[in-house]
Amino acid sequence: MLLSESLYEALEASLKNLERPHSSIQSIGSVSGGDINRAYRIKTSTGDYFVKVNNDPLAASMFLAESNGLDILRNPLGAAHVPKTFLVGNARGEGFLLMEWIDTGNKHDAPQQEALGRLLASLHRRHADAYGLDHDNFIGPLPQNNGFSSDWTEFFIEQRLQKQLDMADQILDGTDLHKKFDRLFSRFADLYPCEPPSLLHGDLWSGNYLVDQLGTPVFIDPAVYYGNREVDIAMTKLFGGFSERFYDAYNETYPLQHGWEERVDLWNLYPLLVHLNLFGRSYLRAIQNNLKQYIGANS
């Protein structure tokens, strides 16, 4: 049995409570693609659903933050671009998030990439008065602090880079990375032009968007906050999966400032530090290489 008995019963009860009293589970299949959660497609007599499961003590909090993030994205983007969430629950220590199932199509063709670029640009046009969010959330399974700040340099250093550096203290033992980051911090404000706080997806790699069978792009697994929009753009470059038509369509809709390509590795220090904390020292070289561009090779 793919699901524990307690989780199976909790899901079946949840489906009946969703004004689907005659719904019954017909089959359950594993879904691949995630490193953190177990995921399943649930086929029922009234439709298909997607459920994510995790045994971590913080799982329910993580899933609640994810559900809240999707709600925040849905407001400016519309329901077609964000999956509906039905329930965050816990079944004897197994946290779960029940969502709508989306049948996916090809997301790499030019029309789909163009639509995705325009969609992200429209998201980034949603602005706030300060950087951050009114609640903390998660980046993957790691806590992400979002206390509001009017200063992007202060926010990105204190609530993004320094938090991850503190978490990685043991991994960094014996390296000079703390000193190198201190040198980066001393000149950080001079490395980028001002941008208003934009609503960000926050974890935008190629695995965190879908395209449905109508060709509509759909955002999933966000880590939302208001920040410099180049952070989202930079992360699309970290692991690839976005075509030139994506960037062209974005720039046609909401042009990026001159030199944005030169700042990609600056913003990607954050996800690289996250990956360092999640997966270990194999990410040290990439972090060192990124730092060299902004503090000098001999620093």
| Residues annotated as part of the active site | 203
Q: Give the gyration radius of the chain's Cα atoms.
A: 20
Tokens of 216: 């509509």
